[in-house]
Amino acid sequence: MNYSKKCVTALPVTVIVSLTVACFFASTAAADKSSSGETDLATYLLGPQDQLAIRVIDMDETPSSTPLRIDPNGNIDLPLIGPVHAAGLTISQLRAELVDKYKKYVIAPVVTVAVLEFHSQPVTVVGSVHTPGVHQIEGPKRLLEVISIAGGLKDDAGTKAIITRETSSGPLSLPDARVDVGGRFSVGEIDLAQLISGMTPSKNILIKPNDVVSIPAADLVYILGYVKKPGGFTLHTHATISALEALAMADGLDSNAKPENARILRVVGDGKNRATIPVDLAKIVKGKSPDVPLQADDILVIPNNVPRQAALRAMEAAIAIGTGVLIYRGFH
């Protein structure tokens, strides 16, 4: 058959896509419904080792059932038209490319393209997740899926995710995304607390190959000195907490504390120095003074009651000496 002279009835060019194809041409509607979502596949970029099913209607020379795998150079090899570069294209872009090339042999060619197998593609997840590193992602995945693949959030995770994408892979679908000075990367932030709570489902964006997902650790405040549980405490959903809230996190005052002489050590200037802010926790606890907000990296120090400690130590020493005398006399 001479394809250069053949005329076929002009039909709309269609694309059939499916994540799982048991019988590629059995039912295109069912294939579409079985996919993870048309929007996901519409933005998916093909890559080396992806397996495709491609057919040009009424052309016996094109493989209708034999899968085609994109080679390491990103190409597929088709009858009549030869090598076509597919890596980095969406499914619709590849279809358009094939339609254009087959126009030399068919008037208004009808081309179908489906992804039979997604090859793993690297996404880097760093920060406060249980298994940070480079993860091989198969097929389109959204942000929360990628975080789950990385083991989920750690207890010290903050409330934002930072997505970094090469501009060559397309823009980030975030309104506040910015491009770095060199113009090579697009960077955007997502509020994880709002996303996880269901307030901003649209922010659960598709993650593309070679994206970097960073989950910074939450900010901390520190409570030191004479409290029952000193240490660092995370600021998960609030930019600040109050001194009383911090005291509650530390399980309250130690019996030897002197809360009226508490102080906050706060970072100032270039971060190498700290200012000292006196705080009378005794009055705050009694409601005689307003509570004081703590900021990220603040250190709340609760000193001890020195005179009381000295008296207690003297009493302990006296008891120890008296006990020693009694024991001595008891044996003699």
DSSP 6-56: -------------SS-SSTTT-HHHHHHHSS-HHHHHHPPP-TT-EEEEEE
Which pLDDT score is estimated for 310?
52
pLDDT at site 160: 92
* DSSP three-state, residue 274: strand
Q: Residue 29 has what pLDDT? A: 33
Q: What is the pLDDT of residue 117?
A: 86
Q: What share of the chain is helix, strand, coil (3-state, %, to 5)?
A: 25, 30, 45
Domains of the chain with CATH codes: 28-117 (3.30.1950.10), 120-215 (3.10.560.10), 219-307 (3.10.560.10)
Rounded (10°) CA dihedral 189, 194, 197, 198: -80
* pLDDT at site 16: 31
Which pTM value belongs to this model?
0.60
Mean pLDDT per 10-residue segment, the chain (332 residues): 38 30 31 42 82 84 73 90 91 93 88 87 94 89 95 91 91 88 91 91 91 93 92 76 91 90 89 89 92 91 73 53 41 37
227 CB-side CA count, 13 A: 25
Residue whose entry in the numeric block shows the structure tokens 């970094």? 164
